[in-house]
A and B are shown apart, each in its own frame.
Chain A
Amino acid sequence: MRRSVVYLSGLGFLFLLLAGIFFHAMYRQEHAVPRLNEMARIVKDLELTDLCLFTEARYTRHPSQADLQTAFQDHPMAMEHFPSGSFMKIPEGIGRNNGYETLDK
């Protein structure tokens, strides 16, 4: 078989796989509805505010409830004490006049 045919077939196969991931994503999204609803129900029932992703420190377990100055308490972009701190962006409110500051009197 010609090399060009082998190459183009391989490329075609990869494109099919790329299309396949979109179909797979659509399929999984449909099947995820009960799981997402269940989580949304628990969030509503228990009045939760955060995802349980980083349990190592207060402000990483509940970043939305942390003091404004808790995460990145040294200075913005400082090396964090906890590894997951390096995944978090500096809170939007720091140094800017947005909704946070007007409420935090």
Chain B
Amino acid sequence: MKRWINKQKNIIDFTISSLLRRKGKNTALFFVYTVIVFLLSSVMFYTHALKKEAKIILQSTPDIVVQRTMAGRHDLIPVRYAEEIRKIRGVNAATPRLWGYYYDPQSRANFTLMVSESHPLPSGDIIIGSGISRTLKVFQGDMMTFRTFKGDLLTLQVADILSSKSELVSSDLILLSEEDFRYLTGMAKEQATDVVVRVRNPKEFKTVAVKIVNLLPDTRPILKDEILRTYDSIFDWRSGMVVLVIFISVLAFIIFSWDKASGLSADERMEIGILKAIGWETSDVINMKFWEGTAISLTSFLSGVVLAYVHIFFTSAPLFVQVLKGWSILYPSFKLTPFINPYQIATLFFLTVVPYTVATIIPSWRAATVDPDSIMRS
């Protein structure tokens, strides 16, 4: 055993010296490899953590949200629809929800206005999300002015700011009284944005939804399961822009693996010829090439994964923020919880390390089985 270990150590010594002889080329290879692994891992870590967090947070989302549609578009729902839905067997509660958007031309930010029964507010007071407070520098006790649907100004006082811990769901929220909401938006008393339905038995969500559609054919029920699935599909690492990043990375990886696999340089062939001529076995040459592949691929892989982890979970993904932010003025400031699992690491390993190691061994095996004399002469 000791002899085998010593042999491996000698081969590694030789491999490192050989790699250092082509320092420039191998450093560039290590750098490109690390960047590709870093990109792939960053995307995987980010999307998985966001999906997992969405799944946990949105577990308490309404069971069913009923929208009214008109001419194929979301329309305001009559409040009496809630009463009719309440009559359906299995429905625990059906409450009209008042919410909408407000575009502030000065800051060019979009706010989400909402009336909440859990935060009853007197007319004239609002509670704002911490994203609004941070971006617009508005604090408790300050006044905010809004332009109503008629064009006149409505000034409301910030009574409180929602906890910054909840920024991922409440960054752009403005909670206000029903009176102020209707005055600002012009929504009639008998109308609401949608209806939230609570169902007693989770197994009956779909049955109740079908009953709602049969009773009120101009409505569209959105089930809790569909809300959860939306986030599952948005941040699926096999979708949208994510798949594009992965595609480009894998393509770059294939190009340099192909470069390796398509043959060895004259220098490398000569080196193998000399080694064989001085008595190295074919297995020793393959062993050396295995360590060479491992030295580059495993080191790059581990460095890439660790750097990606730091990028996503320590520094809040600064490389992705600009892309995710798009044209938004309000963007939540949040640190994702690292939800990682061995399956992700194994997937990355098989996507990157295994093909590269195989790609370096095969041409070496071919060169190592040829007569050394003919290699050196060629």
The one of A3, A52, A63 in contact with B173, judged by C-beta atoms closer than 8 angstroms, is A52
Please state if B116 and A46 are interface contacts (CB–CB under 8 Å): yes
Q: Which residues of B contact A39 (CB under 8 A)?
A: 57, 165-166, 168-169
Q: A14-B306, A28-B313 are in contact. Are A21 and B340 (CB under 8 A)?
A: yes
The verdict on A91 contacting B170 (CB below 8 Å), with A55-B109, A56-B327, A67-B74 known, is no
Q: Would you call B293 an interface residue if the criterion is a C-beta within 8 Å of the partner chain's C-beta atoms?
A: no
Q: What per-residue 1/0 map shows which CB atoms of A67-95 lie under 8 Å from chain B?
A: 10100000000000011101111011000
Number of residues of chain A lying within 8 A (CB) of chain B = 65
Chain A residues contacting B169 (CB-CB under 8 Å) are 39, 42-43, 48, 50-52
Nearest CB in chain B to that of A44: its residue: B60
Q: Does B150 contact A (CB under 8 A)?
A: no
Would B16 and A7 count as touching, CB distance under 8 A? Answer: yes
How many angstroms between the C-alpha atoms of A22 and B342 in the bound complex?
9
Complexed CA–CA distance, A102 and B209 (Å): 10
Contact residue among A7, A48, A57 (Cβ-Cβ distance under 8 Å from B295): A7
Given known contacts A52-B167, A63-B230, A84-B324, A45 and B222 CB-to-CB distance under 8 angstroms: no
Distance of A5 Cα from B259 Cα, bound (Å): 30
Collect the chain A residues with CB atoms within 8 Å of residue B138's CB.
none
Complex interface bits, A6-19 against B, C-beta within 8 A gives 1, otherwise 0: 01101100110110
Structural contact, A40 and B74, CB atoms closer than 8 A: no
Q: A63-B234, A64-B222, A84-B326 are in contact. Are A49 and B227 (CB under 8 A)?
A: yes
Determine whether B140 belongs to the interface, using a CB cutoff of 8 Å to chain A: no
A103 touches B324 (CB 8 A): no
- Closest chain B CB from A66 CB (angstroms): 8
A4 at the interface (CB under 8 A from B): yes
Contact (Cβ within 8 A) A15 B302? yes
A-B contact count (CB 8 A): 216
Q: Which residues of B contact A25 (CB under 8 A)?
A: 313, 338-340
Chain B residues, CB < 8 A from A54: 324, 326, 328
| B240 within 8 A of partner (CB) | yes
| Among B221, B302, B323, B339, residue most surrounded by chain A Cβ atoms (within 10 Å) | B302
- When distances are taken between beta carbons in the complex, the residues of chain A under 8 Å from B295 are 7
The answer to the question of B38 belonging to the interface, with a C-beta cut-off of 8 Å to chain A, is no
Check A3–B13 contact: CB distance below 8 A. Answer: yes
Within 8 Å of chain A (Cβ to Cβ): is B332? yes
Within 8 A of A (CB), among B85-114: 97, 101, 109-110, 112, 114
Known: A4-B9, A55-B330, A87-B324. A11 touches B118 (CB 8 A): no
Query: Contact at B226–A100, with CB atoms within 8 Å?
Result: yes
Partner of B129, one of A21, A52, A61, A92: A52
Docked pose: A55 CA to B65 CA in angstroms:
21
A48 B110 Cβ-Cβ under 8 A: no
Indicate which residue in A3, A45, A51, A65 contacts B118 across the interface (CB closer than 8 Å). A45
Contact of A42 among B16, B170, B222 (CB under 8 A): B170
Q: How near does chain A come to B43, taking the closest CB pair, in angstroms?
A: 11
A residues sitting closer than 8 Å to B (CB atoms) are: 2-5, 7-8, 10-11, 14-15, 17-18, 21-22, 24-25, 28-29, 32, 34-36, 38-58, 60-61, 63-65, 67, 69, 82-84, 86-89, 91-92, 99-100, 102-105
Starting from the known contacts A87-B234, A100-B226, 19 additional A-B residue pairs (CB-CB under 8 Å) come to A3-B16, A21-B305, A24-B313, A29-B338, A36-B56, A38-B165, A40-B56, A46-B118, A49-B222, A51-B54, A52-B167, A52-B168, A55-B329, A55-B330, A60-B326, A67-B74, A91-B233, A92-B229, A104-B220
Q: Sample 19 A-B pairs with CB under 8 A, ordered by A number.
A: A4-B12, A4-B16, A18-B306, A22-B342, A35-B337, A36-B56, A47-B62, A47-B196, A49-B222, A50-B58, A52-B129, A52-B167, A52-B170, A55-B329, A63-B231, A64-B222, A91-B230, A91-B233, A103-B209
* Nearest 8 Cβ contacts at the A-B interface: A83-B326, A89-B239, A4-B12, A14-B302, A44-B60, A25-B338, A45-B118, A32-B337
